[in-house]
Amino acid sequence: MDDTISTLLRGVAKGKISVEDARKALENATLTEEEMFTAIDHGVFNPAEPGTIVSASLAPSGGSYLTMMFFVWGIFWSCYWTFSMIYGLAKGWDQQQLAYHLAIMLVTLCMMGMVYLKFVLPDTIIVKHAQNKFIPEHTKDWKEYKW
């Protein structure tokens, strides 16, 4: 990950290197068509060995302040809607109002789950290959009648 092209791309993305300077640095780079296709296809179409752990190198971080604030926000509103629904049950509120409180609480929990799956859960896959299944033929335990 510390090759010249990756370093240039990171520098351009951060704004430390201008696009023109990066193009000048790569002007005399030679790459055959076969080498280009090998570099593109490497790891994409090669079958992985069983037990290999495949991990995304640019996985998003779950420790960002925005993600943490979203979970604090979600926990607060989930508790608010849940306890207001419990209060409404005790006070004999209408079913429509109680259903609204339940729905908003579930929507908040779903949003928290989506943020968790997108930004917190690591992008890791453990490659497992299943063995070919052998299904024996069952013997017939009934009698066939011919007409």
Same domain, 69 and 122: yes
Q: Does residue 146 belong to any structural domain of this protein?
A: no
Q: Does residue 133 belong to any structural domain of this protein?
A: no
User: Which residues lie closer than 8 Å to 64 by C-beta, 6 or more apart?
Assistant: 119
Domain extent, residue 76, equals 65-126
Q: Does residue 147 belong to any structural domain of this protein?
A: no
Instruction: Using the CB atoms, write b or e for 112-130: b if 16+ within 10 Å.
Output: beebeeebbeeeeeeeeee
In 3-state terms, the chain is what percent helix, strand and coil (to 5)? 55, 5, 40
What mean pLDDT do residues 14-19 have? Answer: 87
Same domain, 117 and 81: yes
Q: Does residue 97 belong to any structural domain of this protein?
A: yes
- Residue-level pLDDT at 56: 57
Same domain, 32 and 73: no
Same domain, 120 and 78: yes
> Which of 2-16, 37-51, 93-107 has the highest average model confidence (pLDDT)?
93-107
pLDDT greater than 80 at residue 117:
yes
- Residue-level pLDDT at 129: 62
- Residue-level pLDDT at 74: 96
Distance CA 116, CA 10 (A): 27
Amino acid in position 4: T
Same domain, 87 and 36: no
Number of compact structural domains in the chain: 2
Query: Are 119 and 62 contacting, i.e. CB atoms less than 8 angstroms apart?
Result: yes
Q: Does residue 137 belong to any structural domain of this protein?
A: no
- Residue-level pLDDT at 64: 81
Q: What percent of the chain is predicted at pLDDT more than 70?
A: 69
Q: Does residue 40 belong to any structural domain of this protein?
A: yes
Distance CA 7, CA 22 (A): 10
Same domain, 41 and 82: no
Q: Does residue 92 belong to any structural domain of this protein?
A: yes
Higher pLDDT, 67 or 43: 67
